[in-house]
């Protein structure tokens, strides 16, 4: 449904400066190691800072000037942290880094104040792409990519419409064999056997994937973002999973963004909805009228089904002439307006 999976190249690491004190992903002082993507510079704003260290960081595919630590992606730029108790404003761009490596110069970490390790208990967050807010984050959007894609492409798209107080989380699907694509291994939230309303479905895989996304929601709640300030969304297979996850979630969410998708296990609804917790959830459903993969009529059938699950007036179904299995600027503006309405500044 989407492009091939993106590779994650690595550059060699800069050697430690004299007197630098390497740390591990757990925040303790030990051997030099690669840190997962979730340990971006902004995490260290919550840590106690003391003596300087050099932190080797994983290189990721950058997409222009937005591909930087402040926006949640690392790129070929060097960033510094300084001070006794730095916050997010401590992150400063200091120019191009040489092709020999990517590094952050900061300080050693007081493990008692560090929240870095929290992501380790949520597998999908370990390498998810996060577009961080430019100010205090009071809301979150969790967005799921389509079959064969990664979170990078949608992190880039969401960066263009982001709100400064909203965090955007774009996890990567695991790589599994997909029946629909001759058992080829690719990023996929669950197995797909067909793309028609009556095609067999991977019920166990769908439910397992939904639990993994709910774990991300729980993680954000523990970090202080209430569920009614969280929007779940996605494109194609990711949009399908976002619909199923939100409707079966035990927490009242702010809304759902469902792009070019369908409702998985639709025959189980409305009974499968979790005690009507999200009976009044707002849903923005968008679909290209020329979509050859998931025809717009399937989108219309999904919209009608959703109206039997939630309050009918809460379901918006927008179509876009000439658009195939992709997004368009008009659709992205609709997404931005939907997010702004449901997640106002507080």
Q: Residues with catalytic annotation?
A: 236, 291, 325
According to DSSP, the β-strands at 255-259 and 315-320 are: unpaired
Q: Are 293 and 325 in contact (CB under 8 A)?
A: yes
Cis peptide before 330 (omega within 30 of 0): no
Residue with tokens 């009529």: 297
Quick one: which of 172, 176, 248 has its CA closest to 210?
248
Are the beta carbons of 128 and 39 closer than 8 angstroms? no
Strands across the sheet with 282-288, in order? 129-131, 166-170, 139-144, 230-235, 255-259, 282-288, 315-320
- Distance between CA atoms of residues 159 and 162, nearest Å: 5
């Amino acid at each position: 449904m989407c492009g091939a999976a993106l590779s994650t190249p690595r550059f060699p690491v800069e050697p430690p400066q004299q007197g630098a004190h390497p740390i591990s992903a757990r925040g303790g002082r030990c051997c030099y190691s690669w840190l997962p993507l979730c340990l971006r510079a902004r995490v260290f704003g919550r840590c106690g800072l003391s003596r300087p260290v050099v932190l080797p960081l994983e290189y990721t595919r950058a997409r222009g000037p937005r591909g930087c630590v402040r926006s949640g992606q690392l790129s070929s730029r060097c960033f510094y942290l300084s001070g006794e108790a730095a916050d997010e404003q401590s992150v400063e761009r200091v120019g191009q880094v040489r092709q020999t490596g990517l590094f952050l110069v900061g300080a050693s970490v007081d493990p008692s104040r560090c929240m870095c390790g929290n992501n380790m208990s949520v597998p999908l967050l370990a390498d998810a792409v996060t577009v961080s807010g430019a100010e205090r984050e009071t809301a979150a959007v969790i967005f799921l990519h389509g079959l064969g894609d990664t979170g990078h492409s949608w992190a880039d798209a969401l960066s263009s419409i982001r709100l400064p107080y909203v965090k955007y989380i774009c996890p990567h699907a695991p790589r599994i064999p997909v029946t629909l694509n001759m058992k080829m291994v690719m990023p996929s939230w669950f197995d797909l056997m067909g793309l028609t309303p009556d095609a067999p479905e991977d019920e166990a895989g769908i439910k397992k994937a939904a639990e993994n996304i709910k774990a991300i929601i729980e993680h954000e709640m523990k970090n202080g973002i209430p569920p009614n300030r969280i929007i779940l969304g996605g494109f194609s297979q990711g949009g399908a999973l976002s619909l199923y996850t939100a409707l079966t979630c035990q927490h009242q969410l702010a809304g759902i963004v469902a792009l070019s998708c369908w409702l998985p296990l639709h025959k189980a609804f409305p009974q499968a909805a979790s005690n009507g917790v999200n009976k009044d959830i707002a849903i923005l459903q968008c679909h290209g009228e020329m979509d050859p993969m998931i025809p717009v009529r399937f989108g219309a059938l999904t919209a009608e089904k959703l109206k039997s699950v939630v309050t009918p007036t809460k379901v918006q179904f927008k179509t876009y002439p000439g658009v195939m299995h992709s997004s368009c600027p008009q659709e992205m503006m609709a997404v931005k307006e939907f997010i702004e309405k449901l997640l106002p500044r507080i």
